[in-house]
Structures are given as C-alpha cells and as structure tokens.
Amino acid sequence: MRWSSLFIPTLRDAPADADAVSHALLVKGGFIRQLHAGHYSMLPLGWKVHQKVAAIVRDEINAIGGQEFLLPTMHPATIWQQSGRWDKMGEIMFRLTDRRNNEMALGITHEEIFASVASELTSYKELPQLWYHIQTKFRDEARPKAGLLRVREFHMKDSYSFDIDDEGLDRQFESHREAYIKIFERLGLPAFGVQASSGAMGGSSSVEFMVPCSAGEDEVIVCPSCDYAANIEKATSKLEPVVDEAGLDAPERFATPGIRTIAALEEAGAPATRQIKTMVMVADGEVVLALVRGDHQLNTQKFIDATGTIELRPATPEEAKANLGATPGSLGAVGVDSLRIVADSALQGRTDMTTGANEDDWHYRGVSVERDINVDQWTDLREVSAGEACFNCSTTLEQIRCVEAGHIFKLGTEYSEAFGVSVSDSDGKQRPVVMGSYGIGIGRNMATVAETHYDDKGILWPVSIAPYEAVVTVLKLDAETLAAAESLYEALRSRGVDVLLDDRDARAGVKFADAELIGIPYRITVGPRGLADGEVELAVRATGEDKRLGVDVAAETVADAIIAER
C-alpha cells in the first residue's frame, strides 16, 4: 500500500479526555475514533491490528480443535430467562423491545445461545466438541473509560467446550490455558493466570489472565515466592492468630458519646482486631448485615458470590436506622433476629469483642460472636491486602494493578441442565453435558499491547500485530529515488512482508514521526545520498538501532528479521 492513498489521520495532540496511554496513542495514531461513550470506530489502521490479533487467537483455538461459528448478537429474552440470567445480569445488559413488543437483549456473552445449539447433540460418541466464534458483545458499562480497555461494544472470542464428564472438561480447560499462554506470548504480553471470581458466569472455578498495567482496573494479590496469584475478589491469606480472653458472661453496654468510627473506638480502648464492623447492605432488595473484623474491609464481590446476590448496595443511613434503630457508627448484630446476617470466617469463635449496641453513642463489650450473634452464613468476606502472609508459604504478599486480558471458566452442567443438553452415555443412560466457557477480548488485547509497548514517540507494536511490518520511506520524490524505493517495496512484498510505501510529498521529519507514532517495527529510508553509495538506512523501532544496508541485500535482510519475529 502507498501512504499517499491511505486514510491515516494522525494527530499532533491526544484528546483531552484520554485517561490511558493506549487511548491517547490509538487516537493520535489514527487507529480509532470515538462515536460516543464506550463506542469506537475502527479506522483502517486499527482494524488491521484488530484483525491480526483475531487471527492469532483464531490460530491457537483452531490448533486445539476449535470449530468456528457465528451466532446472533440480538437474543430473545426467553433464552436468558430460561437460564435464569435475565434478572441476574442486571443493568449491564442492553434490553429493548421489538415492534411486536417482544423483549430482546444485545448479547453480553453466548453461553445460552451455544447451549441451545448443543441441544442437537445426542450421543457421547459426538463428544468432545469445541465451538467458538468472534462476535460483537454489548455491555452497558456505567463508566466506560480508558479507550478500548473499558467499552460498551466490543469484539470477543468466546469458545465453549462440551464433554461427557469432568475429566473431559479438565482436559479442555487445560488446553485453553495453554492456548491462551501461546496467544499472549505471540502478542508480546506478560500475562499470567490468577484465581478469579466466576461472577454471573457461574460454574465451579475460573482463571483470569492478567497483565500488569497501571491503567487496569483489577487488583491482583501475588506471592513472590510460590505460584499463588488471585484477583482480590478471590484472594485469601494467612492471618496472625489472635488470642481472646474468655470475656463476660453476657454483653455489657457502655457509653461511647460521639464515637462513630473504628479508629475512634480504638482510641477509647478497643483494638480494631477486637471489634466487629457491621455493614448494612441491601441485597436484591433485602436488608442484610455483613460482619467483618474491625481492621478488615468487606469485599463486595465475595459477598455477592457467597450469597448469590444479583444487585448489592450499601443501605442508606435512613434504611440502617429504620432497621436497627441507630445510625452508622453505633450499629451491631447482637440480639438481631429480624435480618439475615452473613459473617466473615475470621470472626468465627471470637470472644470478648466490641460492637455497636444499635443505639447512638452506645456499644457492647464482652461479645462472644457465636453466643451473642445469630449468624446465618459463615463465609470468606474480607479483602486481602498487601503485606499479609501467603496462605501457602507465609511469604509477604504483594498487590499489583492489572488489566484482565482473558478469562476461562469451568461451567459444569448449569447451562446444559437449563437447556436440556444431554447425551446417552456408553450404558445408554442420559447425562447432562459438561460445559466450559473461554473468553478473550480482541480490542482489549489490542489496547493492552499499546498500553504496555510504547515510548515518547508512539506505539511499539510487536511484528505479529503491527499495522504494517515495514515502511519504505522515500526522502525525495525524484524519478531515480522513487524507482529504487518502489523496487525495494516490491521485493519486500514478494517475500511476504506486510509493507507500506511512504510516497507522500512531505518533510522527512514528518514521515519519520508518523512512522514512529503508528509503531511500524522496521523503517527503510531511501534517499539520493544513500543511493549514491549503494545503500539505504534501516531503523529498528523497538531498539532504536540505525544502520546502513546495501540496496541489494536490504529486502532479504529485513524480511528475514521480520519472519524471525512473527
């Protein structure tokens, strides 16, 4: 292709609302343009990169036996109601009504749709199956931001495995884990797997693939000594043991005028480790109490996962007072039997504790948790933080900010049972098919590469997904120089190089800056002075290396370097 005929609208300045490096560079480089919040147009350069990312994903999923489909992105409400996720998805699902007043939705994901197709499977002899597609998804994010990292419309590869038993699912899950590792290696991303919450997807377990990145929205807890890594929504740690006194025979009320915080109560003589923090939550419309230790924080996703809650929010002070009789700072669960109580496991067996007495300016001391509080559910609710000890090896844990680049799930039989996907086994008995689900965002990975591969000049695309692998830059448009550049351009094309000829009538500085901004890995500069010596100049974007090559060997040298990096 010739640059003079392409639409590559590079900009001098990034948009004012660009809150991530990738957002700024993809707009400046002419890859994307925003239509409205969370929706982006892919311009020619952006679509080329997007398609190259998709091709890598397709290669690796095909390599483990994937069969490609293309399923609709507008779905009838009935199919989501059949799985029970019509309500579970909440406000993130785009919903609409057609002219016949049928309720519809734009697909967030495709478990239901693939399961409905899989209902045509009848025998264990047809298994295993691995199906996938690369399709547009829609999610009504409350706060889309960071360019392509958090959007409302995006392309995702989602694949689905179908097996006769859990052993088959384990094999497919491991195949996907290995395929994802290869995908991220080819993209040049330092992704690593972590334990994760399955959220609205359900299933027995899941693994997220995370890329360290300051623009990410996920906090990951990692152990530097062993292989433990988990999303903060799933992470656990080893707590220092706390030795309790026997305490009182019954809770004792004591006055705490003006005390409203854990810290203030600590100053009054009750260590945070000996306090019970009571949070009033509204879970799917029901007021519920969540209890954690005074020095711990509630992780709301853990609460959601443990209780099956769809929509969760903190109660207002008015709601708290209406249900418990006090305002926040004096709340507690002692003697409460009208509300469901969910408590963190770290409180189990604790004695001689302090908590609010449900009367402003009063607290209880000498509380024995299991004696004095009617806990309905014990579970892991606390949020792990850096500095705590690894549960496996006791090493101090670290916390890093990451972008989620992919997520794989063991779904089990939840969807197959909902949609009647069963097959006859070798004994002729009907068994529900065991499913897995495996997602990876195409645009998000494109943005993550840009977010982690750049310098002050622009993007540093890996050869594998660069919009063009090489550019031949013509310094002077005289007949001899242009002919030499075109000959080199054709020689590279004949060797399979995705090459661009910069034949624009523009200053050399502008051409160099544009090539660096859009991240072309190899630039070959052809000018009259160099040609007089039988040479051209090669610039390697990733390393900054500049060197001269003979005109007769330039195409072969560059092509060999590119092929080695693909």
Q: What is the mean pLDDT of residues 384-411?
A: 96
For residues 64 and 175, is the Cβ–Cβ distance under 8 A? yes
What is the model's pLDDT at position 19?
A: 87
- pTM of model > 0.95: no
Q: The CATH number of the domain where 545 resides is what?
A: 3.40.50.800
Cis geometry, peptide bond prior to residue 432 (ω within 30 degrees of 0): no
pLDDT for 334-355, tens place per residue? 999 999 999 999 999 999 999 9
Do 374 and 300 fall within a single domain? yes
Judgement on whether residues 51 and 143 belong to the same structural domain of the protein: yes
Arithmetic mean of pLDDT, 357-369: 96
Cα–Cα distance, 324 to 342 (Å, whole number)? 16
Q: What is the pLDDT of residue 227?
A: 87
Does some domain include residue 384? no
Report the domain count for the chain: 3
What 3-state DSSP class applies to 387? coil
Residue 202 has pLDDT above 70, yes or no: no
Pairing relationship of beta strands 286-293 and 340-344 according to DSSP bridges: parallel
Tell me: do 88 and 223 sit in the same domain.
Answer: yes
Residue with tokens 């220092």: 240
Report if residue 12 sits inside a domain: no
213 and 20 in contact (C-beta within 8 Å)? no
| Alpha-carbon dihedral sign for residues 463, 465, 469, 473 | negative
pLDDT score, position 377: 97
Instruction: Give yes or no: residues 446 and 475 share one domain.
Output: no
Q: Is residue 541 part of a domain?
A: yes
Q: Which residue has the tokens 């908590």?
A: 355
> Is residue 356 assigned to a domain?
yes
- Give the Cα separation of 126 and 131 in Å (integer): 13
Which residues, at least 6 apart from 455, have a Cβ–Cβ distance to it below 8 Å?
Answer: none
Residues 275 and 314 in one domain: yes
Q: Does 459 reside within a domain?
A: no
C-alpha 516/C-alpha 504 separation (Å) is: 16
Average pLDDT, the chain: 95
Q: What is the pLDDT of residue 110?
A: 97
Query: Residue 199 pLDDT more than 80?
Result: no
Average pLDDT of the residues in 185-200: 89
163, 169, 172, 178 alpha-carbon torsion, rounded to 10°: 180
Mutual angle of helices 551-565 and 479-494, in 10-degree steps = 40
Tokens of 177: 């884990």
What is the side-by-side strand order in the sheet with 95-97? 74-76, 103-106, 95-97
Is residue 27 in some structural domain? yes
pLDDT at residue 205, as a whole number: 82
Q: Which pLDDT belongs to residue 201?
A: 61
pLDDT attached to residue 88: 87
Residue type (1 letter), 146: A
Say which DSSP state 241 is in.
P
In-domain check, residue 87: yes
Higher pLDDT, residue 245 or 153: 153
Same domain, 58 and 194: yes
Q: Is there a single domain that holds both residue 369 and residue 414?
A: no
Residue 15's pLDDT band (boundaries 50, 70, 90)? confident
Shared domain check, 60 and 189 = yes
> What integer pLDDT is reported at residue 448 of this predicted model?
98
CA–CA separation, 332 and 358 (whole Å) = 6
For residue 90, is pLDDT > 90? no
Do 413 and 287 share a structural domain? no
Quick check: is 155 in a domain? yes
Q: How many CB atoms lie within 10 A of CB 149?
A: 25
Q: Do 320 and 439 sit in the same domain of this protein?
A: no
Rg over alpha carbons for the chain, rounded to the nearest Å, is: 29
Q: Say whether both 360 and 325 belong to one domain.
A: yes
pLDDT value, residue 203: 62
Task: Tell me what pLDDT residue 247 has.
Answer: 83
- For residue 558, what are the domain limits? 468-565
Q: Exposure of 234 by Cβ count < 10 A (0-12 exposed, 13-18 middle, 19+ buried)?
A: buried
| Mean pLDDT on 187-198 | 91
pLDDT at 246: 82
Do residue 228 and residue 275 come from a single domain? no
pLDDT in tens, 273-323: 999 999 999 999 999 999 999 999 999 999 999 998 988 999 999 999 999
Domain at 356, CATH number? 3.90.960.10
Q: pLDDT band at residue 562, thresholds of 50, 70 and 90?
A: very high
End of a domain among 379, 408, 439? 379
* pLDDT value for 197: 80
pLDDT band at 104 (very low <50, low <70, confident <90, very high): very high
What local confidence, expressed as pLDDT, does residue 200 receive?
Answer: 63
**Among 559, 541, 564, CA closest to 499:** 559
Report the percent of the chain where pLDDT is more than 70.
Answer: 99
Task: Give me the pLDDT at residue 196, please.
Answer: 86
| Predicted confidence (pLDDT) per residue in 30-77, tens digit | 999 999 999 999 999 999 999 999 999 999 999 999 999 999 999 999
Give the DSSP H/E element, type plus range, for residue 106: strand 103-106
Mean pLDDT (whole number) for 438-443: 98
